[in-house]
Structure 1
Amino acid sequence: MQLHIVDHPLAASSLTVLRDERTPRSRFRPVLYDLAMMLVYEATRTLPTMPVAVTTPLATTSGVRLAAEPVVVPVLRAGLGMLPAALNLLPDAHTAFIGLSRDETTFEPTVYLEAVPSDLAGRPVLLLDPMLATGGSALHCLRLLADRGARGVTVVSVVAAPEGLAALESGGPAVGTADLTVVTAVVDERLNETAYIVPGLGDAGDRIFGEM
């Protein structure tokens, strides 16, 4: 597994705003959009391309286009906050959806939606989830994506916990750990007793959409 931390002043500044408990939803959402743009930009750095010819006003030259249609997969509901930025950068991407809720006793994910193409072979896949905490949700998603033929999935998160990264690292062939990449703005200290990331930024879904 490869870990890429986006160490950039603008990313750090946006993360600071997202962490602040005083930041209202009206401000949280556009700042998350800005940071997600930076994260997805970095996550797509190694997308495969193919050469094409292009005619400028002065001459014909060579250019590139993406070799395969990417698939972006927001993990509902918090991942929806990152989806507009991803589609701005990848307007032709296919969007799939995985809906998971958290059991507040076991901290394990409960599935309520899986809308994913049946064949992902040969297609770059970005899994969008602001928080990589225990890793349980990401592992479930990665197993599903691997079963559909996805290889080399990139997990894009705002904040990651060491426990979540360790869970992905030990996921093995079933989740494609060898070809897995995690792109995040920061690796935080730890999880607390209720499996929230510390210092973190709270419940991302609640801060984007309001408490349920």
Structure 2
Amino acid sequence: MGLNIINHPLILDKLTRMRKIETSSKDFRENLNEIGQLMAYEIFRDVPLKEIDIETPVTKTKGYTVDLPVVLVPIIRAGLGMTEGIQRLVPTSRIAHIGLYRNEETLEPVQYYAKQTEDMDKSYVLVVDPMLATGGSAAKAIEIAKEWGAKNIKFVCLVAVQEGVDKILASHPEIEIYTASLDPVLNEKGYISPGLGDAGDRIFGTK
């Protein structure tokens, strides 16, 4: 268990485009969705399959289908921007939602919204947020997913720093973390550096 860095050339190319300050919200969103889709190939490598009987235009044969329901759990709001690409690859996946904000005095994440799906305990669950900075929100979201009964959980992000990785693994040592990049540091404002800025603002064109 631990950190998995998916540094495929196509992912690195798209991530570089996203990092550029001049990249528009439209291009940022499109590249984020495409990276999510590319990352999903690696993330779902161990998803269990069930053998089924099918018939092709030529003959009867055996085929395979994913054996577990897939649930995506974006951390609102930036996590929503990474969900569409993964869902394109797994169109039967369901989406739960977790809304968190940071208490400015305690700096701890506070839950303001949560909506689960059915059968979380029987599902293959991906908690999604483009940025893994301090790790507080990610660790809290994983905790909430566990409270819903989820057992098979992975955390998926675009850019991470070691501080955030360590926070998740200290609280949830069994969790697999998938990212496209492990950046060097958090700056004095708590932004990942070099990072790509505020992912939510860049996805939705807000300030």
Q: Displacement of 1:118 after TM fit?
A: 6.4
Residue aligning to 1:72: 72
- Distance of 2:102 and 2:27 partners within structure 1: 25
Residue aligning to 2:22: 22
Q: What secondary structure sits across from 1:121 in the alignment?
A: helix
| Paired residues, number | 207
CA RMSD of aligned residues (A): 1.5
Residue aligning to 2:32: 32
What is the correspondence of 1:4-153 to structure 2 with a 5 Å cutoff?
4-104=4-104, 106-117=106-117, 119-153=119-153
Q: What secondary structure sits across from 1:149 in the alignment?
A: coil
- Distance of 2:102 and 2:146 partners within structure 1: 22
Q: Displacement of 1:33 after TM fit?
A: 1.0
Residues 134-177 of structure 1, C-alpha deviations (whole Å, 9 max, x = no match): 11011111111112221231111000110000111111xxx4x2
- Distance of 2:193 and 2:62 partners within structure 1: 48
User: Residues 114 and 135 from structure 1, CA distance in 2 versus in 1: closer, same or farther, beyond 3 angstroms?
Assistant: same
Residues 36-94 of structure 1, C-alpha deviations (whole Å, 9 max, x = no match): 11112221111111100111111111111111111111110001101111211111111
- Distance of 1:118 and 1:67 partners within structure 2: 16
Q: What secondary structure sits across from 2:64 in the alignment?
A: strand
Q: Displacement of 1:28 after TM fit?
A: 0.7
Q: What secondary structure sits across from 1:78 in the alignment?
A: coil
The structure 2 residue matched to 1:181, chosen from 163, 176, 179, is 176
Identity %: 40
Q: What secondary structure sits across from 1:34 in the alignment?
A: helix
Contact 2:2 2:169 in 1 (8 A): no
Unaligned runs of 5+ in 2: none
Amino acid at match of 1:142: I
Q: Displacement of 1:105 after TM fit?
A: 5.4
What is the TM-score with the length of structure 2 in the denominator?
Answer: 0.94
User: Residues 181 and 148 from structure 1, CA distance in 2 versus in 1: closer, same or farther, beyond 3 angstroms?
Assistant: same
Q: Displacement of 1:109 after TM fit?
A: 2.1
Q: Displacement of 1:111 after TM fit?
A: 1.8
User: Residues 197 and 104 from structure 1, CA distance in 2 versus in 1: closer, same or farther, beyond 3 angstroms?
Assistant: farther
Matched, 1:192 2:198: no
- Distance of 1:107 and 1:196 partners within structure 2: 14
Q: Displacement of 1:125 after TM fit?
A: 0.1
Contact 1:25 1:207 in 2 (8 A): yes
